[in-house]
Each structure stands twice: as structure tokens, then as C-alpha cells.
Amino acid sequence: MDLRDRVIVALDVPDVAAAEAVVAKLGNRATFYKVGYELAFAGGLDFAQRLAKSGKKVFLDLKLHDIPNTIEKGVGQIARMGMTFLTVHAYPQTLAAAANGAAGSPLGILGVSVMTSMDDGDLARAGYGMGVQDLIARRAQQIQESGCPGIVCSATDMATVRNAVGHSLTIVTPGIRPAGSALGDQKRVMTPGEAIRVGIDHMVIGRPITGAEDPAAAMQAVLDDIQSQS
């Protein structure tokens, strides 16, 4: 894998002009971008398509979940947009329908394991009969069974995922902080080098790069840290 493809820059910005400014500043250093709700619903879907046409890889983080027919048709449209990754919530029906919708295209479906905002008490309140780690393990297995290629999980859930499915899924992880950068609202973090050492395939990094005084230098520091561990 091109080392640059390991870093997915989260374009968590309010409008397309701000996103274009980040992309211009990063130039050839960045090959992979994530578009989430904030940008997607401010013209970001057309922008994502343009970005893909310009040769960048795009991860559309829409965390879809609906009845199978709706998921399959919607995912088919996203596959035609030239996206590289798309998230869906990791329910068996949704995973299977998304796999069907993406079939025959390069779009990779990532199952969202358990939102990191949920703890055991939140799961109990929502009616689940198991805790967070057990649910992550179950969902990792169900993602694998669905044929979807990847999982989004926190770095701290890596061991649970590996125990459940070995090395069979592409692991995509947020919560990465270069040494010395602000934590923001992230609580359990790893540096880019540590993330590579524990076997994360792609890391999602937002504010430490997009909010830096010199985003290109911040990106280069991330790439250097990964290179030193590769």
C-alpha cells in the first residue's frame, strides 16, 4: 500500500470552499479524504465526486442503516459516485444489503462496530443483552460473514476485533494524535506510529492536520512517523 493511503484526512469543515482549501494545501501529500455529515449536507456529495474524479480516494462516512432494499439501492448509487469506502451500521441485514449494492464495484463497505459514545449502560438502555466488547466481537464476526471488507473501531478495541476475526478485516481507526498535538475531545489516543505498530490499516485524522497552522507540515510529520514504523 502507498504509505500515504494509510492516512485518511477527515474534512470536518462547514463548506466546500474550506474543504478545497485543505485539499490544495495538502497537495500530493494526501491521497485519501473522509467526508462526513457536516460537509456532505453542505454540497459535499458533489465535492466528493469531484475529488474522486481528480484521483483522490474518498471515504463517505454516512453510517447508513435502513431496510435492505433501500440500503442496496442507495449503496449502488454511492458505488457509481466513485467512492472508495462507505460506512454502514453493522447490522446483519444492512451489511448484506450493502455488500449487494457494492458488488462488482471498487466500493469497500466498512461496518461501524459500536459507537464509542456508547458504554455498557447505554447498550442496556437500548435493549441489548450484552456489553460493548461482546457486541464489538459479534459485529466483527458478522461483518466478516457478510463479505464486507472492513470495520471502523477504536484503537482500544483492536484486540477484541483481532480475537474475533483475526486479520480478515481492513481496520480503520479514528482517535489518532501525533505526539504533542491537542487531544481535543479524543480521550484514548495513539500516535500514527503506534497505530501502524498495532496493525491498523488506515487511520482517520482530522483536526491535528486540518486545524494546524501549516497543514502540509503536519501531514508530513504524520507520514514520517508512519514511515519510521513501516
Residues assigned a catalytic role: 63
Report the sign of the C-alpha dihedral through residues 68, 74, 79, 85, in that order: negative
Whichever of 83 and 96 has its CB closer to ligand C5P, that residue is 83
The 10 Å Cβ neighbour count of residue 227 is 12
Nearer to ligand C5P, 72 or 85 (CB): 85
The answer to whether residue 205 forms part of the interface with ligand C5P (CB under 6 A) is yes
207 part of the interface to ligand C5P, by CB under 6 A: yes
**Around Cβ 182, how many Cβ atoms within 10 Å?**
10
- Within 122-181, which residues bind ligand C5P (CB under 6 A)? 154, 174-175
CA–CA distance, 164 with 1 (Å, rounded to integer) = 25
Cβ atoms of 144 and 168 closer than 8 Å: yes
Question: According to CB under 6 A, which one of 116, 144, 160, 181 is a site residue for ligand C5P?
Answer: 116
Residue 84 touching ligand C5P (CB under 6 A): no
Q: Which position among 204, 218, 221, 222 is part of the footprint of ligand C5P (CB under 6 A)?
A: 204
In the complex with ligand C5P, the residue whose CB is nearer, 13 or 137, is 13
The Cα–Cα gap between 1 and 188 comes to 27
Amino acid code (one letter) for 173: T
> What does the binding site for ligand C5P look like in residue numbers (CB under 6 A)?
10, 12, 36, 116, 154, 174-175, 184, 186, 204-208
